[in-house]
Each structure stands twice: as structure tokens, then as C-alpha cells.
Amino acid sequence: MRHFILLSFLALVVSCKPGKAPHAGLSDSLQAIVNREVATGVPGVLAAVYMPDSQFEWSGSAGYADTAKQTPIRAEQVFRIASVTKTFVAASILRLAEDGKLNVDDHITKYLSPQHIELLRSGHYAADSITLRHLLTHSSGLCDHTLTEQFMSRVMNEPAHEWTRTEQLEVGMKYGKPVGPVGKQFSYSDTGYILLGEVIETITGQYLGDAIPALLDFSKLGLEHTWFEDFQRDSTDARIHQYFNGTDTWAFHPSLDLYGGGGLLSNCKDLSRFFYKLFNNEVFHSPSTLDLMLTPVKYDTPAVRDYRMGIFRGEVDSLEVFTHTGFWGTQVAYVPGLRASVAVNYSEIWTKRGPAPVLPEFLKSIRYKLKND
């Protein structure tokens, strides 16, 4: 009996002996890509890849979180994700639709304050014709207040100024112009998404910083490092410095981009997880809601870019991707063909037109490893 027990124990040890790690060497390949990018002069790069079906998750970093102090950047640090917030806003609107609180074809006048409706009319917009769907798909014809010279000039010259949503809308109405008829063209507009932020606040009776984490259930999704900057916690040590044309924007007041067009802080690990779970039906109650989010929009004259509801559809390295970028140097992408999510942050936005330069290299490395392991 003693001999039998010993043989059984030895067999158990052999059967539990660690084998080759899934996709061994992929982590090293991804880190090498990040290191090379920083060597070109980028202050710092953060990145993460999430592929649970392939039992692979990786986060990496290189460079500095603060170039003046030469503080090394850490993979878990957070950053202003800027317009990637729009994906969260769109998902929140669609969750409200699932709960019967709104319909995406409702007119925006049903939810906006009388003051904001009048501001839209003063800017020569047919506010009564614009629906939530138009705002979600950037087809409302609204200008983008962030593209006006007056907005950017004040941001750069008075970085500590505390903006309100109303003030940003006033800038758009005074200095911007309608880009075309409602529903007839794609024209990217932060102004449209700050109005969607107002819709969420009107229906929930909460500020965005409380409403969105509750609607999307950040806790259930495991988003431990994602929050609206003006709420909940101090991010002094957690947040990296981000640069614009060499200017350190760390002290710029968060209100410049806080009301739905942007506003969230996050890190690459959380962003890669969120995009994976969004596209694998772990955010919405019904798969049909994701189908609605990804419904193509048709125009008489095809749009230059394919924007759905809070998400772009495109191709990178001949692979279909669903992605969003953020002004300060962030890109997140879900790649159905690889069942992989990738999140990247450059502390200073890349200057080369197109996706974040490391993204195509990441996808090539991932595809190679999946094919050859």
C-alpha cells in the first residue's frame, strides 16, 4: 500500500509539472516594441494586451511618467483617455435604452435643459430634429467647439480655467458653424457628446462620474483603475504627465474635457479589458444592443471614416478593428480576428498619421505567435 501511494504521488507531481507558458516569448516581443518606440524620442509609452481565450494578458511600459523629474513610468499608471471616454458614454446611453429609460431615436430636446436648447437654436441648429442617434454617430451637423480657435487659445493661455458644459456649448454656438443638415454627413463633434453627457445626468439624476460607473458596473467588469478625474479620488501619484507640442499638460484643469467628450482616467490594463468585454457581450444585457452599437451608418456621400455609436470600424495590418483614439495619445482596439484587445498610451500623441505606431507591430507579433505556437 505504501508503495502504491508513493507511485500515485509521483504520478501526480509529473502530471502537475508546469509546461510551456502559453505563447512564450510574446511578452518579450511586445516589450521590445515599446522599448524601440521610446528610443525614438517619445517621453513614455504604456500598453496592454488582453486575450483571455488564449490565456494571455500583458502590460508593459517604457520611458518616463514625468520627463522633468525623469520619473520612470509604471505599467499600472493612469492617464487622461480623452475621447476614448466616448465609447463609455455611448455604451451608457445604450444601457439606458436597454432599461427602457430612453430610445436612441428620441429627440434631444426631450432631455436637454431649456437653456441649452435655446443655445442650439441661437447657433442656427434645428434642435427639434436632432436625435440621440445623431449625436451618437456624429451625424447631427453640430460643430466641434474644441476645434474653434477661441477654445484652444483659452485652454493654452489659461490652463487653470474651470470650464462648464454651458460655457463650452456657448463657445461652439458663438464661434462654430453648422457643418451640414441633420443626418446627412459624418462630422466628429465633442459638442455632441457633451450633450449626451447631459442626457445621462438628466435621466439618472447623477453626475457622470457616478452615473457611468454604475450603469456599466465597473466593479463587475473589474475596472479598478478607471474613474472620472473630477470625482472619487486623488490621482496625483497615479497619473502620468501628458504633453502637447512639448508642453506639459499635467496641471491643465480637467474641466476642459470632462463632460462626455472626455473626462475619464484609466490605465491600459482596464481599457483592454473593457473593450474585450464590450465586444464579447459582457457589458450589455442583450447581444442585440451590441449589434445596434455597431450598425453601419449610410450617407449619400460616404464618410471618410466609418463611425458607428461611440466606436470606429477600420483595418490595421489587414485585420478588422473596432477602435477609438483620444487626443492626448491613447488608442484602444478590439480585433475580432485575433479575439484580442490592445490599449496603448503615448504620453505625447504620435505625429504619424494613422493608428498608434506600435499597434500594427503588436498585431503582427500576436498573429505570428497565435499561428506558430
How far lies 145's CA from each of 155, 177, 252, in Å?
Answer: 12, 9, 18
Considering the chain, what is the average pLDDT of its residues? 92
Contacts of residues 102-106 at CB distance under 8 Å and 24 or more positions apart, as own/partner, are 102/132, 102/199, 102/203, 103/132, 104/131, 104/132, 104/133, 104/136, 104/292, 104/309, 105/131, 105/132, 105/133, 106/131, 106/132
Place of cell 474651470: 162
Q: What is the pLDDT of residues 83-126, one digit of tens each?
A: 999 999 999 999 999 999 999 999 999 999 999 999 999 999 99
- pLDDT for 233: 65
DSSP 31: H
Mean pLDDT, residues 65-81:
97
Please determine, for residue 14, whether its predicted confidence score (pLDDT) is greater than 50: no
- pLDDT for 232: 58
> Are the CB atoms for 192 and 140 separated by under 8 Å?
yes
Q: Where is pLDDT greater, at 218 or 16?
A: 218
> Are the CB atoms for 122 and 173 separated by under 8 Å?
yes
Please determine, for residue 39, whether its predicted confidence score (pLDDT) is greater than 80: yes
SS (H, E, C) 327-342: CCCEEEEEECCCCEEE
CB atoms within 10 A of CB 268: 31
- pLDDT for 21: 53
What domains can you pick out in the chain, each with its CATH number? 26-372 (3.40.710.10)
Q: Where is pLDDT greater, at 301 or 4?
A: 301
Q: Output the pTM of the full model.
A: 0.93
Mean pLDDT, residues 39-57:
96
State the Cα–Cα distance between residues 281 and 291, nearest whole angstrom.
Answer: 10
Please determine, for residue 1, whether its predicted confidence score (pLDDT) is greater than 50: no
The pLDDT confidence band at residue 3, using thresholds 50, 70 and 90, is: very low
User: In the chain, pLDDT over 90 holds for what percent of residues?
Assistant: 88
User: In the chain, pLDDT over 70 holds for what percent of residues?
Assistant: 93
Specify the DSSP element, H or E, that contains 293.
helix 287-293
Grid cell digits, residue 338:
485575433
Q: Cα dihedral sign for 247, 248, 253, 254?
A: positive
Identify the three-state secondary structure at position 319: strand
Please determine, for residue 287, whether its predicted confidence score (pLDDT) is greater than 90: yes
Q: Where is pLDDT greater, at 86 or 16?
A: 86
Q: What is the pLDDT of residues 302-356, one digit of tens each?
A: 999 999 999 999 999 999 999 999 999 999 999 999 999 999 999 998 988 899 9
